[in-house]
């Protein structure tokens, strides 16, 4: 008798999914926190919120993806770093409110599941969770035949953190004269890749393995550099020093992200001469003939995170970041202005 249709013949391999679960369980276990009661494997994950030192604990959540940076991973067949990006984009966002990341969940979707490849992705997620102190407590793997191009997948993530209500950092105390302290990025992080790919990958003679002397490495490797996670150094500073506002420099660059933390009637003046963007940004600008305003509202220009502090605290906060292994620098200040926004000088 001719065998009938099966789920596997339709394109969904349950056994391969089971193999993936076996591969990722030890990865999730490496991120475990004592508050985790149940994690990977069940219908839901249990996490006990135990914060006796907080008067009024508030949960802070954030979700994001990696975007078309995944195209670089596909082209190079390297999948162990994009998970770091996924975690970073979420935990850096909730960090801006002063939140300590508690746990993380991921969503991995593909047309045909390859457990070894997917486990490589999750290894990056686990690494990002360990670096940020978050527990990887669950997620979803979806095999969707016919929905994604062959060899491609998509990622999304969700982070939850906690902050005492009295210590939420929301920018409301920012005043004219306050100072912007910046922490460097590792590269493009996870934003502006549609433009970067157009300039560096799609142009004649270019490609992911094209080595450029200006950056000292192949284009694909430079573009695949993971997003930095700022959780540990920033939380260490917050424990000792007052910070008024923070911004994660993601899509929209400095131009769009900094005004998000300002109270009404305040603007920011940035001194471009206070830092030199890494060579990759100059390569993008030159090869793409991109105008400077477009660069600053598309890319992070070498700055991944900004804290806004009162001027009397600047030197101590700079020193505190240096003790954490960071290389901070002052990039500008807050001004009283009828129209909010960023002015470059």
Q: What is the DSSP string of 307-325?
A: EEE-GGGHHHHHHHHHHTT
195 and 340 assigned to the same domain: yes
Query: 160 and 183 share a domain?
Result: no
Range of the domain at 107: 14-167
- In-domain check, residue 2: no
Q: In whole angstroms, what is the distance from residue 213 CA to residue 201 CA?
A: 16
- Asked if pLDDT for residue 7 goes beyond 90, the answer is no
- Is 33 part of any domain? yes
Task: Provide mean pLDDT across the span 149-161.
Answer: 96
Residue 153: Cβ-neighbour burial (10 angstroms; 0-12, 13-18, 19+): buried
Q: What is the mean pLDDT of the chain?
A: 93
List residues bridging with 344 in a β-sheet: 270
Q: 206 and 306 share a domain?
A: yes
**Domain match, 215 and 330 both:** yes
Residues 183 and 155 reside in one and the same domain? no
Predicted confidence band of residue 43 (pLDDT cuts 50, 70, 90): confident
Question: Domain containing 162 — which CATH number?
Answer: 3.30.1330.10
Q: What is the mean pLDDT of residues 111-134?
A: 96
Of 167, 199, 221, the residue that ends a domain is 167
98 and 194 share a domain? no
What's the pLDDT score for residue 194?
95
Q: Are residues 139 and 195 in the same domain?
A: no
143 and 189, same domain (yes or no): no
Q: Could you report the per-residue pLDDT of 265-304, keeping only the tens digit for each?
A: 999 999 999 999 999 999 999 999 999 999 999 999 999 9
DSSP reduced 3-state for 139: strand
7 part of a folded domain: no
Q: Does residue 82 or residue 8 have the better pLDDT?
A: 82
pLDDT (0 to 100) of residue 278: 96
How many domains is the chain partitioned into structurally? 2
Q: H or E stretch including 118?
A: helix 115-132
Q: Residues 149, 184: one domain?
A: no
Q: Using CA atoms, how far apart are residues 181 and 271, in angstroms rounded to an integer?
A: 12
Domain final residue pick, 167, 201, 219: 167
pLDDT at 264: 92
Q: How far is CA 175 from CA 193, 267, 308, in A?
A: 34, 10, 10
Band of pLDDT at residue 1, cut at 50, 70 and 90: low
Is 80 exceeded by the pLDDT of residue 10? no
**Alpha carbon distance 268, 171 (integer Å):** 13
Residue 217 lies in a domain: yes
| pTM for the model | 0.94
Residue 197's SS3 state is helix
The length of the chain in residues reads 345
Examine the domain organization and report whether 78 and 112 are in the same domain: yes
Based on the domain organization, do 215 and 300 belong to the same domain?
A: yes
Residues 156, 191: one domain?
no
């Amino acid at each position: 008798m001719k065998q009938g249709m099966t789920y596997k013949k339709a394109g969904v391999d349950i056994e391969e999914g089971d193999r993936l679960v076996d591969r990722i369980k030890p990865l999730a276990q490496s991120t475990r926190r004592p508050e985790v009661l149940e994690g990977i494997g069940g219908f839901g994950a249990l996490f006990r919120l135990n914060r006796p030192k907080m008067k009024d604990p508030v949960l802070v959540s954030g979700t994001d993806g990696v975007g078309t940076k995944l195209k670089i991973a596909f082209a190079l067949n390297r999948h162990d770093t994009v998970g770091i990006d996924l975690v970073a984009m979420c935990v850096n966002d909730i960090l801006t409110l002063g939140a300590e990341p508690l746990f993380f969940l991921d969503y991995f979707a593909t047309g045909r599941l390859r457990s070894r490849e997917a486990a490589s992705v999750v290894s990056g997620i686990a690494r990002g969770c360990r670096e940020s102190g978050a527990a990887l407590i669950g997620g979803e793997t979806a095999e969707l035949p016919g929905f994604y191009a062959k060899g491609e997948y998509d990622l999304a993530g969700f982070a939850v953190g906690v902050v005492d209500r009295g210590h939420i950092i929301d920018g409301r105390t920012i005043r004219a004269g306050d100072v912007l302290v910046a922490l460097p990025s590792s590269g493009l992080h996870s934003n502006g890749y549609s433009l970067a790919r157009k300039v560096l990958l799609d142009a004649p003679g270019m490609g992911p393995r094209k080595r450029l002397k200006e950056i000292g490495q192949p284009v694909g490797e430079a573009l695949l550099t993971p997003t930095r996670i700022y959780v540990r150094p920033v939380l260490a500073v917050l424990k000792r020093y007052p910070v008024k506002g923070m911004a994660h420099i993601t899509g929209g660059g400095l131009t769009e992200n900094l005004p998000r933390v300002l109270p009404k009637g305040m603007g920011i003046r940035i001194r471009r001469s206070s830092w030199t963007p890494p060579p990759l940004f100059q390569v993008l600008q030159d090869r793409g003939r991109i105008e400077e305003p477009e660069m600053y509202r598309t890319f992070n220009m070498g700055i991944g995170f900004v804290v806004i502090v009162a001027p009397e605290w600047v030197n101590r906060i700079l020193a505190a970041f240096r003790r954490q292994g960071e290389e901070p620098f002052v990039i500008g200040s807050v001004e009283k202005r009828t129209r909010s926004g960023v002015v470059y000088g």
